[in-house]
Structure 1
Amino acid sequence: MRAPLREARDASPCISYMGAMYRYTWDHEAERRHRRRNVLHSTLLLGGMVALLSACGWIIAGGNGVLMALLAGSLSLILSPRLSPGLVLRLYRAQPIPRWQLPEVHAVLEAICSAAGMTRVPRLHYVPSRIMNAFAVGNRDDAAIAVTDGMLRRLDLRELAGVLAHEVSHIRNDDTWIMGLADTVSRLTRIMSLLGVLLLAFSLPGLILEGIPVPWLLVALLVFAPTLSALLQLALSRTREFAADLDAARLTGDPVGLASALDKLERQEGMWWETILMPGRRSPDPSLLRTHPHTRERIERLLALQIPIRIPTSPVAILLPWDLPPSRRGWRIRRG
C-alpha cells in the first residue's frame, strides 16, 4: 500500500489521504519564527530551573554547594530508574494493534516516521477508553504510541495523522528525557530548599543573639524556590507541546489536520450538558498552572503556518474492526 502522505518540500505541497486532496502554500517565515521562539523558551526555562537549583546550593554552602547541587542532579539523572514503555502501557491496559486490523493507520505512522528520519517505527497500541487521547512513551530505540478508542472513533484519517505526527515529534525530540531532566532539577530544588530552611531554623537563634543580620531576601528565595521551579517546569511542558505541534505540521505538511483534531478534542471534552450549563468550565485555572497550552492558541499557531489554495474533499473515516475490545469509562490519560 502506498504511503498516504508525504513531507511537504515545495512551496505548494499536495497531501493525499486515500484520495482526499489538500493543497497549501507553506509559510516558511512563520515556521522559522515559531521554531526560534520554542528553542529560546525551552533554553531559558530549563536554564532558569538549573539557576534556581544552583542558587539554593550557593545559599547553603557557597561555591561548594553549587557543585554539590549540580553533581547530585547529574547522578540522579544517570541513576534514576527508567520505566519501560511496556510497564507504562500495562498500567493503561493498552493492547498492541496488529497491522491487519488498522492498515491505513499503520501506513500513516510509517510514512510519518520516514519523514522524521526515524529508523524504528513506534509500536501502535489501543487503549479501551472513551476519552479522546493519545500519548507516547519511550525513546527512539524503544517507543510506543497509544491511542484511545474515543480518538479512533471520532477522528478521520487526516486528523489522526496530525495526532500521530505530534507524538512522533515528542519521541524524535527526546521530550521524555527533557521533561525527566526538568523533573529531576525540580525535585532537587525542593530538597535543597528544605535543607536550607532547616539549617536556617537551627541557626536563627544564634544569629539573633549575636546581632548578625538575617539575609531575608535569600531566605525568601529558599522558601519560594520550589514553587518557582514548578512553574518553570509547567511552562517548559507547554513550550514542548508547541514545538511538537510545529514539527507535526512539518512532518505531514498539513497543519489543518492537527488543528481540526485539537478542535474536536476541545469540543468533546466533558458532557454536552456541561457545555450548556457551564460554558466557562474549561478556563477556571490560571494559565501558569497548565501542563498544556490553551487549545485555541495551539490551533491559531497551526493555522498561521498555511495558506489554503483548495478546500479539501470529504474526510476519510477510520474503519474499526469489530473485534476491538469495547471502550470503558475510567481513568484519564495525560495528553502528550
Structure 2
Amino acid sequence: MHRRPPFPTTRHKLRNLFQSLALLAGMLTLLGVCALVVWGPQGLVWAVLTGAFSLVLTPTVAPDLVMRLYRAVPLRPHDAPDLHHLLETLSRRAGLSRLPRLYYLPSPILNAFAVGTGDAAAIALTDGILRTLTSRELAGVLAHEISHIRHRDLWTMSLADLMSRLTSLMSWFGQLLLLLNLPAVLLGGVTVPWTVVLVLIFAPTAMALLQLALSRAREYDADLGAVALTGDPRGLASALAKLQRYQGAYWEEILLPGRRMPEPSLLRTHPPTEERIRRLLALEAEAEPPVLPPVRHHLPAWAAAVPHGPRWRWPGVWY
C-alpha cells in the first residue's frame, strides 16, 4: 500500500484557495453589477438564476470525444505498462474514484493536458513530451494533470467562462440600448450616468482579466498538488524548465494557436515559468524523497506508425 507523502506547506494551499475564491467572487460581483445596470434589481436575480440553470443543464463533453477530436490514440496498459503503473500510483494517492484514461497524441509539440472530472477523465501526452522527459519529470507532469482532475479545475474554469460570456452578453446588450437611445441622450431627454457607461464598456475586459488570473491561480494549485502526490518538487521544476527550453513558456500551443505572440504578463493564461519553478524549489527542503515506480519505456512500439498529428483548421481548432 502506497502512503501519500505529507504536505507541510498548508499556508501555500490556503493562499491558493483563498485567491481562487476571491477571484470567483470578483467575477460574480462584476456579473451582478452588469445585470443591475442593464435590467435593475430583477435583472440581477434573473442573471443569477440563468447562470445557475445554464451551469447545471450544460452537457458535459465526454473526454473520449475530445480526444478523438485531436486524433489521440488510447494508450492501453499493455502498450505502456510502466506508464500505467505510475498513473495508478498517482491516482490512488490523489484519491480518484476512477483511473483516468491515457492517450497518445502524435505531435512533436511538448504538451500534456487533462479533460473531464474524477468520475470520467482522460490525460493526453504528446509524442514530443514522451520522448523528451525523464521518468522523474514525467511523474511530475502526470501528477500536475491529476491534480487538475482532483481539484475539478475544468468545472471551475467552465463556471468562470460562463460568467464571462454572460457579462459580455449583457455589456453588448446595454451598449445597444445606449446606442438606440443616443438621440434622446444628446437632446437631454434621457440622462445616463457616466458610471453606467464605463461599466458597460470595461466590464468584459475586467472579467477577462479575472478569468486569466483564476487560470493562473489554478496552475499554481496544480503544481502544489503535484508535489503532494510525488514528494518531488524538483522533478516537476525540471520538467517545466525543459518544456520552456524546448519550445517556450506555453504548454498548450496545440490548444491555443497563436499564443506565441508577444503579450503582457497580465494576459498570460499560465504563470511565468520562472515563478512556478521558484515556488516549487522553495518546497524542496520540506518534501520527502520521491518513492515512485520507474518508467523505463515511455512509448509503445507502434508509436512511430501513428498517422500525422492534429492540423490547424478554422476557426483555430486542431483536429
TM-score of Structure 1 vs Structure 2, range by shorter chain: 0.7 to 0.9
DSSP-derived class of the 1:136 partner: strand
Aligned equivalents of 2:288 and 2:208: distance in 1?
45
**Letter aligned with residue 203 of structure 2:** A
Q: Deviations over 1:160-181 (max 9, x none)?
A: 1111111111111010100000
In the alignment, what sits opposite 2:245? 267
Equivalent residues in 2 for 1:155-194 (5 A)?
155-194=133-172
In the alignment, what sits opposite 1:15? none
Q: Deviations over 1:215-242 (max 9, x none)?
A: 1122111111011111111111111000
In the alignment, what sits opposite 1:322? 301
Structure 1 gaps of 5+ residues are: 10-25, 271-280
In the alignment, structure 1 residue 236 sits paired with structure 2 residue 236: no
Q: Deviations over 1:246-304 (max 9, x none)?
A: 0010011111111111111011106xxxxxxxxxx979321111111111111111111
**Letter aligned with residue 269 of structure 1:** Q
Does the CA-based 8 Å contact 2:71-2:310 persist in structure 1?
no
Q: How many residues align?
A: 300
DSSP-derived class of the 1:147 partner: strand
Does the CA-based 8 Å contact 2:231-2:288 persist in structure 1?
no
Shift of 1:113: 0.9
Structure 2 gaps of 5+ residues are: 249-258
Calculate the TM-score normalised by the size of structure 1: 0.82
In the alignment, what sits opposite 1:7? 4
Does the CA-based 8 Å contact 1:156-1:318 persist in structure 2?
no
1:72/1:309 Cα in 2 relative to 1: closer, same or farther (>3 Å)?
A: closer
User: Which of 116, 121, 136 pairs up with 2:94?
Assistant: 116
Calculate the TM-score normalised by the size of structure 2: 0.86
1:44/1:253 Cα in 2 relative to 1: closer, same or farther (>3 Å)?
A: same
Q: Deviations over 1:186-216 (max 9, x none)?
A: 0000000011111122223224434554311
In the alignment, what sits opposite 2:187? 209
1:207/1:309 Cα in 2 relative to 1: closer, same or farther (>3 Å)?
A: closer
Q: Deviations over 1:15-61 (max 9, x none)?
A: xxxxxxxxxxx7x2xx2232122112111111111111111111112
Shift of 1:310: 11
1:203/1:129 Cα in 2 relative to 1: closer, same or farther (>3 Å)?
A: same
**Off by >6 Å, runs of 4+ in structure 1:** 308-312
User: Which of 167, 170, 176 pairs up with 1:198?
Assistant: 176
User: Which of 260, 267, 271 pairs up with 1:293?
Assistant: 271
Aligned equivalents of 1:300 and 1:75: distance in 2?
41
1:308/1:216 Cα in 2 relative to 1: closer, same or farther (>3 Å)?
A: closer
Q: Deviations over 1:123-164 (max 9, x none)?
A: 111111111111111111111111011111111111111111
**Letter aligned with residue 207 of structure 2:** S
Task: Percent identity, please.
Answer: 53
Aligned equivalents of 2:36 and 2:281: distance in 1?
46
Does the CA-based 8 Å contact 1:245-1:302 persist in structure 2?
yes
In the alignment, what sits opposite 1:105? 83
1:319/1:56 Cα in 2 relative to 1: closer, same or farther (>3 Å)?
A: closer
The structure with the larger Rg is 1
In the alignment, structure 1 residue 90 sits paired with structure 2 residue 68: yes
In the alignment, what sits opposite 1:19? none
Does the CA-based 8 Å contact 1:6-1:253 persist in structure 2?
no
1:232/1:311 Cα in 2 relative to 1: closer, same or farther (>3 Å)?
A: closer
Does the CA-based 8 Å contact 1:161-1:257 persist in structure 2?
yes
* Greater CA drift, 174-183 or 61-70: 61-70
Aligned equivalents of 1:256 and 1:76: distance in 2?
41
Does the CA-based 8 Å contact 2:30-2:203 persist in structure 1?
yes
Q: Deviations over 1:285-334 (max 9, x none)?
A: 2111111111111111111111289999xx96535332224574655899
Q: Deviations over 1:62-95 (max 9, x none)?
A: 2111111111211221222332111100111111
**RMSD (Å), alpha carbons:** 2.6
Equivalent residues in 2 for 1:73-88 (5 A)?
73-88=51-66
DSSP-derived class of the 1:307 partner: helix
